[in-house]
Amino acid sequence: MRHSIGAARFGLTILAAAAFVTLATAPSRADGDADKGKKVFAKCMACHTLEAGKNKVGPSLHGIIGRKSGSVEGFTYSDAMKNAGLTWDEATLDKYLTAPKKEVPGNKMAFPGLPKPDDRANVIAYLKQASQ
């Protein structure tokens, strides 16, 4: 009897640990706050704009949701980005914005990324709202 109680506790401990890891590594919330995202986007404005057809150091992010990577007219992309084969949706943006150089090695973006899941969710919500 004593052995089965210990095994049950061990199983519950493993289950609790697995639940914690799942929650801690889950993708950012899909329901980000666009108003908060506008503030986060201030970090992006040195290189990007939401104005259609206007590129800066980085390409315009107008209409980014659903767009293929490396496809903004008039912007000179790295070969890495041109050949990445990505379509910018919430999940792809979340992964990319976590660590751009890791997600697309060899891309030109110098920005190190947004480590906080809420910041990524919020800026993605802002991009969706502001770039339509």
In the chain, the domains with their CATH numbers are: 30-130 (1.10.760.10)
pLDDT of the residue at 4: 52
DSSP annotation string for 57-99: SS---TT-TTPBTT--TT----HHHHTS--B--HHHHHHHHH-
Supply the pTM of this predicted model. 0.75
CA distances from 48 to 9, 61, 64, 75, 87 (A): 52, 7, 12, 11, 18
Distance between CA 38 and CA 12 in Å, rounded? 42
Q: How confident is the model at residue 3 (pLDDT cuts 50, 70, 90)?
A: low
Distance between CA 90 and CA 98 in Å, rounded? 12
Distance between CA 127 and CA 125 in Å, rounded? 6
Distance between CA 122 and CA 62 in Å, rounded? 16
Mean pLDDT (whole number) for 78-92: 97
Tens of pLDDT, residue by residue over 90-110, are 999 999 999 999 999 999 999
Is the Cβ–Cβ distance between 45 and 74 less than 8 Å?
A: no
Tokens 């800066």 locate to: 56
Mean pLDDT (whole number) for 75-94: 97
Tens of pLDDT, residue by residue over 16-70, are 443 343 333 344 345 899 999 999 999 999 999 999 999 999 999 999 999 999 9
Distance between CA 25 and CA 28 in Å, rounded? 9
